[in-house]
Amino acid sequence: MTTAPFDKAMPLGKSKLSHTAVYWIGFGVVMAVLIVAPLVLPIFWAKFLTEILIWGLLAMSSDLLIGYTGMISFGHSAFFGLGMYGAAGALLQTSPPNLWAAIFAGLFGAACVALFVAYFSTRLRDIYFAITTLIFSQIFYVIIFTWTAVTGGENGLIFTRPHFSIPFLVDMRFNVMTMHWFVLALVAGSYLLLRRITRSPFGMVLQSIRENEARTRAIGYPVERYKIVAVILSGLFAGLAGVLYAVQNEFAAPDFVFFVTSGDTVIFNVIGGIGTLVGPIVGAGFFQLLRELMSRIFGDQFPYLIPLGVIFIVMIIFLPQGLLGFARRWLNK
């Protein structure tokens, strides 16, 4: 996708220091706002914000593939879903419901799915990859929807939220605020981790694959292996989002494994700006806010996806780099 280059010339000597400083100050400010938010917002909006963070995490995981490796995946609903159901399963099996078991189970489930999808899809290029991830995510949807004995079928699974407990140290229930902080911590941690990954040599190879796959292959990199790892990593973070969603909302439903979730994820990415990691989070927020606003102004039945769809298409044509696309270079330095 084309992006607008962000090319302000900066004096060479000072640039590195001032960029890092500005970046971390910015990060700090944003974190501070997000930490304080639930204290001042009414409960509805605090929970809303927490959910935006979770969707943002999902979208961010997808950005690793779309923005950095150049692979559009329509299969994230499967990773998200397996994370959700994995966590659900653990929470139903363990007594008292164990948070860490849930996270582990969810990540494991997501990783398995990711491995499966990666194996088949990464050997296909571009468009075919996108289509097969779509097909696979629907395969998992059908499995989850029809395997009622294990997954609760159409009705999904309901369970209780686990306590935040570290053996011998802490055991407390989550309330709206602590839940938010827990999610924030994990999402922020994921962001930093993903940032680390994209700036590492591994991440550089991914970006090289995005720029020119043939050339990367010609240089000697085992492109398929890198792609598989990228898909698994992406799946892991998506699965984590699924776990958090399950813990936050105390239910798992097949609707989330349906293609629509994958579609929404891609929308968040495009609107927010691919290749920026934070862009997708902003995209998720923008989308959810707009939806909430429209349902308040026009009523519940209003097909908010029609104007949102139009915005989406308009952005692809005229602003393909997304809302934060202008800052892409800067955010990745």
Residues in contact with another protein by the rule CB under 8 A: 1-2, 72, 120, 123-124, 126-128, 130-132, 134-135, 138-139, 142, 146, 259, 263, 266, 270, 301, 303, 305-306, 308-310, 312-313, 316-317, 320
| Between 180 and 328, CB nearer to another protein | 328
Q: How far apart are the first and last CA of the chain?
A: 19
| Between 68 and 191, CB nearer to another protein | 68
Q: What DSSP string describes 202-223?
A: HHHHHHHHHH-HHHHHHHT--H
Give the DSSP H/E element, type plus range, for residue 164. Answer: strand 164-166
| Between 132 and 248, CB nearer to another protein | 132
* Closest CB 312 distance from another protein, rounded Å: 4
| Between 129 and 191, CB nearer to another protein | 129
* Closest CB 277 distance from another protein, rounded Å: 19
* Closest CB 270 distance from another protein, rounded Å: 6
| Between 32 and 310, CB nearer to another protein | 310
* Closest CB 1 distance from another protein, rounded Å: 6
What six digits make up the tokens of 191? 């962001």
3-state DSSP assignment of residue 97:
coil
* Closest CB 288 distance from another protein, rounded Å: 16
Spatial contact of 68 and 275, defined as CB atoms under 8 Å apart? yes
| Between 28 and 309, CB nearer to another protein | 309
173/178 Cα distance (integer angstroms)? 9
Dihedral, 96, 101, 239, 153 alpha carbons, nearest 10 = -50
* Closest CB 109 distance from another protein, rounded Å: 19
Query: If phi over 0 gives left and psi between -120 and 50 gives alpha, with beta otherwise, what is residue 299?
Result: left
* Closest CB 115 distance from another protein, rounded Å: 14
| Between 41 and 131, CB nearer to another protein | 131
CB neighbour list of residue 74: distance below 8 Å, 6 or more residues apart = 130, 131, 133, 134, 137, 259, 262, 263, 266
Q: Which residue has the tokens 């500005």?
A: 22
What six digits make up the tokens of 7? 């090319």
In our burial notation (b when 16+ CB lie closer than 10 A, e otherwise), range 19-33 reads: eeeeeeeeeeeeeee
Query: How far does CA 82 lie from the centroid of its chain?
Result: 14
